[in-house]
């Protein structure tokens, strides 16, 4: 890009102009930048940085490039695993009431720039469809150029893009403001919330508004995290009270829920591949690790003696009252099971080598294509049994002993279930995933 001269374009200056006048100015700035000429005004720093990335990456300024849209099943799968799903009510409450009057739409994208949710004024939604700004689309900067979703993901800060500040010319009739949403547990970028609309509706306060709502969403995630720590503390405190020596209970991200025998710490950095057994934890040294619902028990080792093998008792003997009880050296805890989760754990208990999502879908529904539902349900199960279950394929961990307690009458096994594999088990027949 050429050296720039004159005053820089700023939001207040653009907003004070007529929309057509602002568009002409920004198009002149963009044209000069693309030609390597002296522009009438300097582009804003975040826009100039994005344009440099676009030119270096070979994005065509006048070609409306689009990537493959996600299928409905792929989109639904991403929605199920996205933590942003938990804060949809906050985002909707903070943004939707004003969107119709402002002729804007709200878009929520994941950390890959895939659009997962979109709501707002119906006429603007139709215009967005023509632009390819639809659920399942990929709005990464490298795909569609400078924009409120992709550029906010790269910059990792709120970004507002007006008219010809969009690198690709087909987007010049739009204005958008995007703000990142981060996970307060580990600081990871979860995605972007964006408000977009026609250029005539641009307003300098839009970015502040969107950024404030994004912060409210992060606050909601923080509250939910604290609530999950309280639940973990309720389970861990009785166990820690019975333990000699030093120990602590942490969640999956290392945040401390309870301690005994040592000074409290807010967070412990955990190894990436943490699992039951002996593990070296940098801040603590050699630890005996046992799973807890929603976290881990870390017992700081006094010697090199064994810690025992975790045992899981899957009790399906009483209709409507199914449970999984986890036994470790420190004690035990139980988790009540929903009908669906009882079915899934039964199938895994009967399949020591594990099952893929497609195999489980066939055994549960008789339809191997229903993998999205399987992954979503097992994601929920693993929130409580993450230390006991593993995936790729889905199975109980290798060092976990599993005891399955069935009803005395085989016909009473999970009586609600219509799963083909469960029906075969009631009849005493073998089949995929069922050991007679």
Residue 189: beta bridge partners? Answer: 182
Give pLDDT tens digits for 112-171: 999 999 999 889 999 999 999 999 999 999 999 999 999 999 999 999 999 999 999 999
In tens, the pLDDT along 334-343 reads 888 999 999 9
**How would you classify the pairing of strands 159-162 and 323-328?**
unpaired
- Helix (H/G/I), strand (E/B), else coil: 372: helix
Report the distance separating Cα 378 and Cα 380, nearest Å.
5
Structure confidence at residue 17 as a pLDDT band (50, 70, 90): low
203 vs 330, residue with greater confidence: 203
262-296 pLDDT per residue, tens = 888 899 988 887 888 888 887 788 899 999 998 99
Query: What pLDDT does residue 15 have?
Result: 59
End-to-end CA distance of the chain: 71
Whether residue 203 is predicted with pLDDT greater than 90 in this model: the reply is: no
Q: How confident is the model at residue 19 (pLDDT cuts 50, 70, 90)?
A: low
Q: What is the mean pLDDT of residues 85-103?
A: 90
Query: What's this model's pTM, rounded to 2 decimal places?
Result: 0.74
Backbone φ, ψ for residue 261 (5° rounding): 80, 5
Average pLDDT of the chain?
A: 88
- pLDDT at position 306 is 45
Can you give the pLDDT at residue 307? 47
- The b-or-e profile of 214-253 (16+ CB within 10 A means b, else e) is bebbbebbeeebeebbeebbebbeebbeeeeebbbbbbbb
pLDDT confidence bin for 433, thresholds 50/70/90 = very low
Q: What is the pLDDT of residues 321-374, one digit of tens each?
A: 899 988 877 677 888 899 999 999 999 999 888 999 999 999 999 999 999 889
Interatomic CA distance for residues 415 and 393, integer angstroms: 27
């Amino acid at each position: 890009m050429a050296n720039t001269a004159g005053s820089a374009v700023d939001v207040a200056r653009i907003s004070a102009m007529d929309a057509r006048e602002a568009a002409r100015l920004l198009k002149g700035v963009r044209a000069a930048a693309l030609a390597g000429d002296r522009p009438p005004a300097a582009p804003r720093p975040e826009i100039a940085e994005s344009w440099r990335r676009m030119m270096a990456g070979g994005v065509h300024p006048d070609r409306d490039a689009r990537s493959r849209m996600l299928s409905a099943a792929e989109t639904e799968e991403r929605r199920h695993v996205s933590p942003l799903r938990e804060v949809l009510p906050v985002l909707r409450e903070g943004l939707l009431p004003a969107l119709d009057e402002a002729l804007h739409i709200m878009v929520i994208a994941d950390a890959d720039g895939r659009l997962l949710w979109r709501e707002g004024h119906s006429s603007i939604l139709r215009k967005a469809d023509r632009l390819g700004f639809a659920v399942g689309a990929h709005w990464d900067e490298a795909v569609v150029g400078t924009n409120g979703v992709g550029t906010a993901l790269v910059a990792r800060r709120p970004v507002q893009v007006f008219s010809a500040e969009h690198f690709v010319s087909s987007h010049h009739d739009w204005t958008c403001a995007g703000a990142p949403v981060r996970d307060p547990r580990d600081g990871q970028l979860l995605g972007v919330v964006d408000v977009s609309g026609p250029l005539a509706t641009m307003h300098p306060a839009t970015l502040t508004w969107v950024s404030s709502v994004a912060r409210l969403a992060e606050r909601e995630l923080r509250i939910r995290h604290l609530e999950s720590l309280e639940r973990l503390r309720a389970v861990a405190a009785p166990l820690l009270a019975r333990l000699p020596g030093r120990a602590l209970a942490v969640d999956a991200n290392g945040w401390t829920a309870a301690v005994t025998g040592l000074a409290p710490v807010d967070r412990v950095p955990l190894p990436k591949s943490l699992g039951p057994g002996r593990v070296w934890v940098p801040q603590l040294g050699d630890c005996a690790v046992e799973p807890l619902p929603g976290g881990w028990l870390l017992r700081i080792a006094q010697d090199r003696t064994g810690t025992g093998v975790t045992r899981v008792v899957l009790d399906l003997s009483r209709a409507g009252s199914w449970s999984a009880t986890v036994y470790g050296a420190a004690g035990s805890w139980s988790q009540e099971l929903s009908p669906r989760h009882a079915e899934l754990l039964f199938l895994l208990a009967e399949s020591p080598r594990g099952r893929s999502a497609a195999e489980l879908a066939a055994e549960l529904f008789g339809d191997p294509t229903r993998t999205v539902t399987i992954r979503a349900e097992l994601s929920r199960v693993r929130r409580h049994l993450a230390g006991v279950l593993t995936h790729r394929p889905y199975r109980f961990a290798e060092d976990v002993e599993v005891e399955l307690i069935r009803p005395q009458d085989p016909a009473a096994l999970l009586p609600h279930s219509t799963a083909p594999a469960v029906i075969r088990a009631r009849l005493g027949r073998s089949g995929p995933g069922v050991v007679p």
